[in-house]
Structure 1
Amino acid sequence: MLTELALPNRVIPGIAEFALGGLPAPAATNDGNAWVDGLCWLYCGQRWTRVLWIGPASVAGAQAAMYACGPCIQELQERVWRSILLDDQPAHAPHPSQAAGSDAPAERRSGRHRGQSRFLRR
């Protein structure tokens, strides 16, 4: 397929163990992924080291590339798998429309959404 030729292969550490029922190994420095020198955004206090892009971080509508070092990726992976295996659910308050004694349907807003403007449409 054409996309297979255009996209570089990604190394997925531990995929064989995962296929056999184990947990996949976390990414490790110089494992074939695109490691770079930079600051770790996670648990180690942003020390200058080899880091791997782990995804975008979003804050107030803005995004930045988020990087982590090998030990922090391992810690993050352990926390994620622990949460998945324990079926961890955050404790949260019910939505205001689902509050006790609120059997009436929520009122519908009547304003126009910003995305409905025809200003920049063709």
Structure 2
Amino acid sequence: MNDIVTRYLDTWNATDESALTDLLATHWADDCVYVDPLAEVQGREAVAATIQAVRAQFPGFVFTAVGDVDTHHQQARFQWGLGPAGEEPIIIGFDVVVLDDDQRIRDVRGFLDKVPA
């Protein structure tokens, strides 16, 4: 599951459209769902659009793992940070990722723990 979380963060960090498309095709289910306080989308194309919007809003920022990954069955929960590369995260969130039978990301539920004023 640590590898899944790494691939998940790689997807959010993809700045090249081709790399993003490849990561989504390889590691996300066709009918994936992504829900957080700011978005509720279904399907790889909608997830890609959401990621691209976040990347545009926070250019040069990177997503990093914060703490350990907690897993059971086909799901993982973990904290992530978003901020300038090599610096403390400005935003911290918490996601739960559920996999399908092919070990691809099927469902993500995200929460924002720390957001600047």
**TM-score, length basis structure 1:** 0.29
Largest Rg, 1 or 2: 1
Q: Which has the higher contact order (CA 8 A, sep 6+)?
A: 2
> Which one has a larger percent strand, Structure 1 or Structure 2?
2
**TM-score, length basis structure 2:** 0.30
